[in-house]
Amino acid sequence: MSKQEEYKVTKPIPKKVCILGTAETMSQAPFDDPTVDIWAVATCLLREECKRADLVFEMHKPHHWHKEGRLESLVKAEVPVMMIDKTAEVPTSQRFPIERIWEKYPERKYFTNTISMMIAWAMVLGYQEISLFGVHMATQGEYTFERPNCEYWLGRAEQAGINVFLPDGADMLKATSLYGYEESRAFSQLQERMNWYRKQQEHANQQLEQAKAVSYQYKGAIEVGNYILQVLRT
């Protein structure tokens, strides 16, 4: 079997694909829309917000996915897992046919992260719309070498006539102002982001208080149960 033949498309390809990362907007992804394929980076499997994944990507060496419960989540996956090499450790693993990308885009072997590979693969397969949720590229490490790479491939996608959608929380393909024509909106945009963070923190605190209340209920039930057991033993 040749390398190109190792990956098999087992169902008709829909028009839309959602590429999923683990940042805050993950929860806004179209999980309930059956007309959209959901492609998730492997760490999404560790998050409760990930309600569905039709294809998972783990494009790292084994030492990376042998830690922090990642292998267990890959083993439990009931969908194909794209990896650098097929492995018996992950029953549904498939070798990622990167040669297919080189064949279609031989002029630019430029990848610094998994998301970019997912974008290029969606282009190879012929999707007409690519959306990204949970992919913000806002941290310093991502910004310096991952974000430019993602923006490059998103630009290639738009150039090819593919519709690209990014939620408000994502920083890619956005500028604080139109250079030379507008004053910088960096300050106001930071204020907007901080307000959003505060709302998320408030929501998280509410969930924490609810969890504490439930925990206290269980604690009380355990204390009552221990008392009854003690009485029955005497």
pLDDT in tens, 145-174: 888 999 999 999 999 999 999 998 788 888
Tell me which amino acid residue 7 is: Y
- d(CA 21, CA 114) in angstroms, rounded, equals 10
Query: CA angle 222-225-226, nearest 5°?
Result: 85
The three-state (H, E, C) secondary structure of 55-71, written as one string? EEEECCCHHHHCCCCHH
Matching residue, tokens 């409760």: 48
Pairing of strands 163-165, 36-41: unpaired
Matching residue, tokens 């959608």: 165
Short-list 75, 97, 86, CA closest to 9: 97
pLDDT at residue number 223: 87
State the DSSP code for 84: S
pLDDT at residue number 3: 45
Those residues whose C-beta lies under 8 Å from the C-beta of residue 68, and which sit 6 or more positions away, are 46
Helix (H, G, I), strand (E, B) or coil at 136: coil
Greatest distance between any 2 Cα atoms in the chain: 85
- d(CA 227, CA 166) in angstroms, rounded, equals 56
Q: Starting at the earlier edge strand, list the strands of the sheet with 129-133.
A: 93-95, 81-83, 55-58, 36-41, 16-20, 129-133, 163-165
Decide if 155 contacts 120 (C-beta within 8 A).
no
pLDDT at residue number 5: 40
* Lowest pLDDT segment from 47-56, 118-127, 191-200, 212-221: 191-200
Decide if 194 contacts 186 (C-beta within 8 A).
no
182 or 121: which leads in pLDDT = 121
Matching residue, tokens 């507008």: 182
pLDDT band at 82 (very low <50, low <70, confident <90, very high): very high
- d(CA 205, CA 202) in angstroms, rounded, equals 5
Asked whether the predicted pLDDT for residue 43 surpasses 70, the reply is yes
Asked whether the predicted pLDDT for residue 210 surpasses 70, the reply is yes
